[in-house]
Structure 1
Amino acid sequence: MNFAITQEAFPGAQVMVAHKNEVIFHKAYGFHTYDSVQPVGLTDLYDLASVTKILGPLPVLMKLVDEGKVNLDIPFSTYWKPWRKKKDKKSITLREILAHQAGLVPYIVFLNKATKGGKPKKRFIASKQSHKYSDKAYENQFVNKRFKDKLYRIVNKSEVSEEKIYKYSGLSFLIFPKVIEQLTNQSYEAYLQENFYQALGCSTLGFNPSNKAYNNNIVPTEIDTFWRKSLVKAYVHDENAALLGGVSGNAGLFGSANDILKMMLLYQNYGEFNKKRFISEKTVQEFTKIQYPTNENRRGLGFDKPLLGNDTLSISAAYPSPQSSTSSFGHAGFTGTLVWADPKNQLVFIFLSNRVYPSRSHRNLYKLNIRTSLQDIFYTALE
């Protein structure tokens, strides 16, 4: 960790590890920024970036599968009507989408539609909140509520590759909250809080921490020189999620290591936490297994999995630790986060950092393979 900080992989970070449902290691290192003013604290809140995907829409989709409200193997257009008229999308299944096997475009930069030369387009972003400009993207930046419809239209019109191979795409996660609202008759955020976070005792896991009176310190992310013109803190780093008012399925969740652990233990114990069942064992096992192994696709449903043949790779080539079991699963986030659960070894590994400080161009976290090396230490310790 100290080596990583000296190499500017991140200014600070924390590691939490649980074995057999008990925390065996939780330490913080470094500072929030390189000026060494605010030390990293164990209760700090982090922008989880793409870890949102498995802690936000995914548990809800699993619950809806359990309830028979969602079928993985019928066209997703059954639930998302605009795709019924799209020749290239009407027959895509939710299984294909969640396993990143559907041929969807990886990412669309919606900020290009809402700004021009780094300045907000007045028809989409206003400096004062009103009925029309209701979604808060950032301080003094409020998004026209019609922009969400524009975003959906662009997703609906986006190209689909005819080649069905593994290609990571976060696009569908932008529309999952809307689908969830239609299927549950409840807001995505409220449904998550009521059915998972509150019931698990996750008091800090949620969206838009700037609106909440947390005592926890919030770790900043990037000094945004393009759009927000400031150090982004307590607002989601991901621009697409920001334009959705901070509440999305692709990014936007903030949380502490302790609360993330509760969700990961729920998964590691195949849908059960503190002797209470939230999701059926069968459904969690289905979501956490490789879906298309013959197509060189390592992914589960929403979950990431070890590289195919990971146990034969060197530590520098592996992802995650080559000692992790094939039953293990998790997800990484753009801001420098990684969460991983291993049911076979009963090991949960949580790594939280803000590697995007001061800029997303800082990529030493990846180049030095810090997270895999750290996780491997704990597997070796198990022996």
Structure 2
Amino acid sequence: MKFKKTFAKIRDGVDKQVVPGSSYTIIDGNDHFEGQLGWQELLPNRLSLMPNELYDLASLTKVVGTTNVILQLISDGQIAIEDSISDYLPEWQSPEVTIRNLLTHTSDIVGYIPHRNELSKDQLIQAELGLTAGDKRSTVVRYQDTNYLFLGWIASRITGKSIHQLIRERILTPLKMFNTTFAPKNVEQVVPTQIVPEFGLLRGRVHDPKTQILGEDSGAAGLFSNQADLEKFVRFLLGEHRDSTREVLDDDMLAAIYQDQTPNHLGIRSFGWILTYDENHPIILHTGYTGTLLIIDQAHHRA
């Protein structure tokens, strides 16, 4: 049996209650395995996981959506990778930070926003833009949602559309990811994330508090998707069906996804993605706070 150890790890996590349940899809060349085990909900009701339920993707929104929108704008010549973000967000007071810094989490944005989750949308935007860059820009990777909030706002300033609208039009529709959404219509098909004392069970409502405030203007989180749609996305990044997917990312940008893109060649971040290697072959991966995960190995056609 292929991936015997992988399946054992998944089951072990459920059996030991590390996670309530797990949905998985594995692609290996022409082979394909998928399934689910365990529970989608333990409280207030115990409900089994079913095939292709929607998950709150959390930070996978960054690489499924926002990254690809920005790379399209670069390909179209509407922005340049080394542009200062102050060219598009003049309220920002550290002009040395570039688009590349945001995409690779090398901006070293510092500062603290008091009572951040209690602010209004306008107050939160103003507070984020009031932060500054530290002295380690381009030399260290510090993963920060702020990088992708800024990228979403830059895309909006250029196009006049919210980042969520741009993701729907430019990524989800051409890839036929019709089950992927920022606003699930049937919350009973959504795996819940948490019980919040003042709200109750979070099911179909985005978990990330900043995205709750920013709504359509958050490029850091917000997407809900299922296994079938994420498989379409993964196969796109594996290079399948290029005749119909080249409009999403051209060949140069698709190749760039699998290369080190940090300013000082740190070797650990691509555009949006964590970058690692297996026998010198690049592998990209990303996680989401809610427990979601994508791993893609284009060289071996695995994911």
| Aligned residue in 1 for 2:73 | 64
Describe the shift of the 1:217–1:247 C-alpha distance in structure 2 as closer, same or farther (beyond 3 A): farther
Partner SS for 2:230: helix
Task: Kindly state the Cα deviation for residue 347 of structure 1 after the two structures are TM-superposed.
Answer: 0.8
Choose from 335, 356, 380 the match for 2:290: 335
Q: 1:184: which partner in 2?
A: 159
Contact 1:271–1:279 (CA under 8 A) maintained in structure 2: no
Amino acid at match of 1:345: H
- After TM superposition, give the deviation of residue 189 of structure 1 in Å: 2.4
Percentage identity across aligned positions?
23
Alpha-carbon displacement from aligned partner over 1:236-291 (angstroms, at most 9, x marks no partner)? 11111111136521111100011112122222218936565421111222233112
**Regions of 4+ moved over 6 Å:** none
Give matches, 1:129-168, under 5 Å.
147-164=120-137, 165-168=140-143
Q: 1:31-63, CA deviations, whole angstroms, 9 ceiling, x for partnerless residues?
A: 112367321112100001111111121111011
Determine the C-alpha separation between the residues in 2 that align with 1:103 and 1:339: 25
The CA deviation string for residues 54-76 of structure 1, in whole angstroms up to 9 with x for no partner, is 11211110111110011011212
Deviation string for 1:196-222 (max 9, x for gaps)? Answer: 21221111112121xx257x7110001
- Aligned counterparts of 1:178 and 1:23: Cα–Cα separation in 2: 40
Describe the SS at the equivalent of 2:261.
coil
Amino acid in the other structure paired with 2:122: D
Change (3 A) 1:284 1:297: same
Name the counterpart of 2:214: 244
One-letter identity of the residue aligned with 1:26: E
Q: Distance in 2 between matches of 1:342 and 1:181?
A: 32
**Separation of aligned partners in 2, 1:276 and 1:73:** 24
Question: Which aligned pairs between 1:48-63 and structure 2 lie closer than 5 A?
Answer: 48-63=57-72
SS of 2:133 mapped into structure 1 = coil
Q: How many residue pairs were aligned?
A: 291
Aligned partner of 2:230 in structure 1 is 260
Q: Secondary structure at the match of 1:264?
A: helix
Tell me the distance in 1 between the aligned counterparts of 2:23 and 2:152: 30
Report the counterpart of residue 261 of structure 2 in structure 1. Answer: 291
Residue 335 of structure 1: how far off its partner (Å) = 0.7
Distance 1:91 1:262 in 2: 37
Distance 1:98 1:275 in 2: 22
Q: Residue type of the partner of 1:220?
A: P
Residue of structure 2 equivalent to 1:94: 99
Per the alignment, residue 304 of structure 1 pairs with: 274
Residue-by-residue CA offset, 1:130-177 (whole Å, 9 max, x unaligned): xxxxxxxxxxxxxxxxx2221121112213211232211111212333
C-alpha deviations, 1:347-383, integer Å up to 9, x for none?
12xxxxxxxxxxxxxxxxxxxxxxxxxxxxxxxxxxx
Tell me: CA distance 1:208–1:222, structure 2 relative to 1, closer, same or farther (3 Å): same
**Cα RMSD after superposing both structures:** 2.5
**Alpha carbons of structure 1 residues 14 and 113: separation in structure 2 relative to 1, 3 Å:** closer
* Equivalent position of 2:23 in the other structure: 14
Q: Would the aligned equivalents of 1:105 and 1:159 in 2 still touch at CA under 8 Å?
A: yes
Per the alignment, residue 233 of structure 1 pairs with: 203
Q: Distance in 2 between matches of 1:213 and 1:34?
A: 20
The one-letter code matched in structure 1 to 2:251 is: E
Deviation of 1:114 (Å) = 5.1
Is the CA contact (8 Å cut-off) linking 1:304 and 1:330 kept in structure 2? yes
Q: Which residue of 1 aligns with 2:12?
A: 3
> Is 1:221 the equivalent of 2:196?
no
Q: Residues 23 and 35 of structure 2 are in contact (CA less than 8 Å); yes or no, is this contact kept in structure 1?
A: yes
Letter matched to residue 273 of structure 2: F
Question: Contact 2:102/2:151 (CA < 8 Å) preserved in 1?
Answer: no
Aligned to 1:201: 176
Q: Is the 8 A contact 2:105 2:147 kept in 1?
A: no
Q: Does 1:42 align with 2:51?
A: yes
Q: Any unmatched runs of 5+ in structure 2?
A: 1-9
CA distance in 1, matches of 2:149, 2:247: 28
Matched residue of 1:183: which SS? helix
The alpha carbon displacement at 1:185 in A equals 2.7
Contact 2:162-2:216 within 8 A present in 1 as well = no
8 Å contact from structure 1 (residues 26, 42) kept in 2: no
* 3-state secondary structure, aligned to 1:26: strand
> Match of 1:33?
41
Letter in 2 for 1:265: R
Q: TM-score, normalised by structure 1?
A: 0.69
Give the equivalent residue in structure 1 for 2:6: none
